[in-house]
Each structure stands twice: as structure tokens, then as C-alpha cells.
Amino acid sequence: MSVLDSIIEGVREDLAMRRLPLAQIREALESAPAVRNVGAAFTGPEISIIAEVKRSSPSKGALAPIEDSGALASRYEESGANVISVLTERRRFGGSLADLDAVRARVDLPILRKDFMVDEYQFLEARAHGADLVLLIVAALSKNQLDDYYQLAKELGMSSLIEVHTHDELERALEISPEIIGVNSRNLKTLEVDPAAFAQLIPRIPESMVRVAESGISTRSDVEFAQEHGATAILVGETLVRASDPELAMRELRGHR
């Protein structure tokens, strides 16, 4: 079993324990906060930063305790982040829907629910808790699931970040003509990082789409490498959650002295 398979197995088990009756989750949808404008978050003159609230990861273990996820997200917003990513997977990343609620209550930026979306219920759940954007990992979904979930997110008013790591996954992603594609330099099946994925895949993404570089970004040179190959946004977690000064860390990533 790959690392990705193991994570998905845990996600399904946890979902089975918290799943609400369909009528109840649909009722929660009725009072969900309005969807924020995701497209506007990626139209600035500088590279956009998706700043992540993440306590731990399968590859690095514990990263930061993050006692108040809303406060951290607020610091990110004040530091110039464009989107806030909130890890809601519990077992490997230490996240929860409570983190999503806390962040939504504290910031005005669009919010990405970053999880392993493998069940229709999770999309209803994401929107009910205020997510504006969801993650669809091509490696975790069949062709039909990718298309169906992309359409479901759209019906609920949410945008989707379509994540790929290989040429084949990128071809599958392009078939649904998404607005946002993320190239993850980390292979989720082995957890190995290969920045060459940026050079190989980002140039093949149409310029009309938002092109996000994910994983392995900790220095200005990493950002420049991604930008040189066409990235218009970066997703950064570990570097920011470990930084004592998120504003300084973001300035350095953008090349501001």
C-alpha cells in the first residue's frame, strides 16, 4: 500500500465516524457563508502565495503546534497572503474542520480546504464550513471521479485546485479544462520531492490557467525556479508555519528586501 493509499484509507474511516445525515448537512449548507472570489486572488502583479495552516505532515512529522489556527491565518493575511490553505485531515496532518471554521471567522481571504477529497459528502461538508476552494488530487481519483467532483464543486459555488505530479496526471487534468492546476513536486505515493516536476509540467499548462507550484518551496531561489517555468502562484506550508515572522518569510519568498 502506498502512502497515498494509506492516507485515503484513514480519511474514509474518519469520514464514516463523523458523517451527518444528508438532510442535516444540506440544512447546514443553507446557512453557509457566501463564497469568496477566488479568481481575484490570483490576478495581482506579483506571484500569489497560498499560505498553509498545517501542524504536521507524513514526510516531516510535527511542524508546529498551532494552538490558534485563526490567529495564524490572520497573521498570514496581514503579511500579504492571497489565499489561506487549511489542512483538515486529522491523522497525518493534525487538522480538523474546526480549523476551517476558525480560519473562516478570522480572515477575509478565500480559503482552500486542503484534504483528500474522495467522497461526495466531503464537498457538501467543505462548503457548509465556508470553503471557497477544494483540492482534487488526480492521483487519488478515477477519471469519472475527477470530472464528477469538479462539477460538484462548481455546482456548490467552489473553485477547485487540480493537483498533478506526472505527465499522465496533467493530461487527465487538462481534459476537464480547469481554472487552476497545481504541480506538486512531491510524489504522494513515496513522499519523495523532485523539483524537476516544475520544469517538466508547468510549461505545459496553458497560460490562461492559474499555475501553482506546490511542495519543496522554502527559499527565494525555489520561487524563482518555479516562476522561470511559468508558475503564477506558490503553495507554502512548512516554511511559513515554522517561521517566527510570517511577514518576513513572505517578503523573502517574493524577493523583497
- 35 within a domain of the structure (yes/no): no
Catalytic residue of the set 82, 85, 184, 185: 184
Confirm whether 54 is a catalytic residue. Answer: yes
**Cα 222 from Cα 207, distance rounded (Å):** 20
Residue 135 lies in a domain: yes
What is the mean predicted confidence (pLDDT) over 220-239? Answer: 96
Per-residue pLDDT, 159 = 98
From 48, 54, 69, 169, the catalytic residue: 54
The verdict on residue 100 lying in a domain is: yes
Does pLDDT of 212 surpass 80? yes
Backbone angles phi and psi of 246, in degrees to 5: -60, -35
**In angstroms, rounded to a whole number, what is the distance separating the alpha carbons of residues 196 and 90?**
30
Of 79, 114, 160, 238, catalytic: 114
Which ranges constitute the DSSP H helices of 93-245? Answer: 97-106, 120-128, 143-155, 167-174, 196-201, 220-228, 238-241
184 catalytic? Reply is yes
Q: Looking at residue 221, which CATH number applies to its domain?
A: 3.20.20.70
Is residue 220 a part of any domain in this protein? yes
Q: Answer yes or no: is 126 within a domain.
A: yes
Active-site hit among 48, 52, 57, 185? 52
pLDDT in the model for residue 103:
98
The confidence band for 173, taking pLDDT boundaries of 50, 70 and 90, is: very high
Number of Cα atoms under 13 Å in the Cβ half of residue 156: 31
Asked if the structure places residue 157 within a domain, the reply is: yes
pTM above 0.85, yes or no: yes
pLDDT at 44 over 90: no
Residue span of the structural domain in which 208 resides: 3-30+46-254
Known catalytic residue at 189: no
The answer to the question of residue 121 being in a domain is yes
Amino acid letter, 30: E
How many other C-beta atoms are found inside a 10 Å radius of the C-beta of residue 96?
A: 18
C-alpha cell at 196: 524537476
User: Quick check: is 162 in a domain?
Assistant: yes
Give the mean model confidence (pLDDT) for residues 132-148.
Answer: 97
Percent of the chain with pLDDT over 70: 100
Q: Out of 163, 169, 185, 238, which one is annotated catalytic?
A: 163
| Tally of structural domains, the chain | 1
**Cα–Cα distance between 56 and 168 in angstroms, integer?**
29
Verify whether residue 214 is a known catalytic residue: yes
Q: Kindly name the residue from 89, 169, 214, 238 that is annotated as catalytic.
A: 214
Q: What is the 3-state secondary structure (H, E, C) of 15-68?
A: HHHHCCCHHHHHHHHHCCCCCCCCHHHHCCCCCEEEEEECCEECCCEECCCCCC
Across 101-109, average pLDDT:
98
The question of whether 163 is a catalytic residue gets the answer yes
Determine whether 207 is an active site residue.
no
* Average pLDDT rounded to a whole number, residues 130-149: 98
CA distance 131 to 22: 18
Residue 114 bears catalytic tag: yes
